[in-house]
Amino acid sequence: MVRFKNRYVLCEVVSEDPRCRQCIEDRAVSLAVRDAIGRVHGDYGLACCSISFTVKYLNAYTGTVLLRCRKDSYRLLCSALPFVRQLEGRGQRYPCCLRTLHVGGTIRTCQKFLIQYNRRQLLVLLQNCTSEEERQCIQKSLLSCSLTEERSRSGDEEDDDGTE
């Protein structure tokens, strides 16, 4: 049996309206991207990208979106992303755009990139701090950026304090 290879495209929702990020849903992002692919590449591009296109992860708080598509058609997807101009959420349309941050072969590589990207963003914020309280809060956030693997736990195993 042949395994189909996928590409994962990590994007960021860029909008002037902060309400846009909290109101978006994965279905709205999927429809907007499919519409942009159809406008840019026509029926052929839409058919190529629709085979295994899904929104794997959406963080509405940070505006991070992880899209999956087939390896053969990820260039069609990436070239159509700048043409997403608005997202619908809760009956309203919000003007925004999708900025591609990283293209990876696995979700794990995208996670690693996202951690490094967030670290760099926190360092920029740390340099622009105005008070000591802000500085301490950002330093705490910076130190907590790590990728940990979940340990498989059986039902009878328990930690002393309930943390992993």
Residue 97's domain is classified under what CATH number?
A: 3.30.70.3250
Residue-wise pLDDT for 40-81, tens only, equals 999 999 999 988 899 999 988 888 999 999 999 999 999 999
- How crowded is residue 99: how many other Cβ atoms within 10 Å of its Cβ? 13
| Per-residue pLDDT at 148 | 55
- Decide if 163 is inside a domain: no
**Are residues 96 and 112 located together in one domain of the fold?**
no
Structural domains of the chain, count: 2
**Are residues 99 and 38 located together in one domain of the fold?**
yes
Domain that holds residue 20: 1-105
**Are residues 46 and 98 located together in one domain of the fold?**
yes
Cα angle 94-95-98, degrees, rounded to a multiple of 5: 110
Question: Is this prediction's pTM over 0.75?
Answer: yes
Q: Which residues of 138-157 are buried (b: 16+ CB within 10 A; e: fewer)?
A: beeeeeeeeeeeeeeeeeee
Q: Mean pLDDT over all residues of the chain? A: 83
Whole-number Å distance between alpha carbons of 19 and 23: 6
| Residue written as token pair 């058919």 | 47
**Are residues 91 and 35 located together in one domain of the fold?**
yes
